[in-house]
Amino acid sequence: MIGKLTVITDEHGDVVGTQASDSAPDPATGATASLVAGPGQTLHKIEFEIPQLTSGADIDDFHRRLTEYLRKK
């Protein structure tokens, strides 16, 4: 499924964090969270294929593919 993402990259262009841009508040608490780029980091808002993430290896592969995509932009 293609979805809107907020992505943070470090000074080398490597992905350090992602968040679905259309994240809804937690139903129980109403809490929300937002990614904020720190010093030397860059925030990107993109649309990208979001796979099923069921393991650490899936997340590592997803971040690798995001890094490759962002470096080509």
DSSP letter for each residue of 22-69: TPPPPTTT---------TT-EEEEEEEE-----SHHHHHHHHHHHHHH
Over range 27-54, report the average pLDDT: 91
Confidence of residue 38 (pLDDT cuts 50, 70, 90): very high
Could you count the other beta carbons within 10 Å of the beta carbon of residue 18?
20
By the 8 A CB rule, do 69 and 13 touch?
no
pLDDT digits (tens, 9 = 90+) for 19-36: 887 667 888 898 888 889
Confidence of residue 12 (pLDDT cuts 50, 70, 90): very high
Confidence of residue 6 (pLDDT cuts 50, 70, 90): very high
Question: What is the pLDDT, as a whole number, of residue 64?
Answer: 93
Q: Cα angle vertex 5, ends 36, 26, to 5°? A: 75
Q: Residue 26: what residue type?
A: D
User: pTM to 2 decimals?
Assistant: 0.81
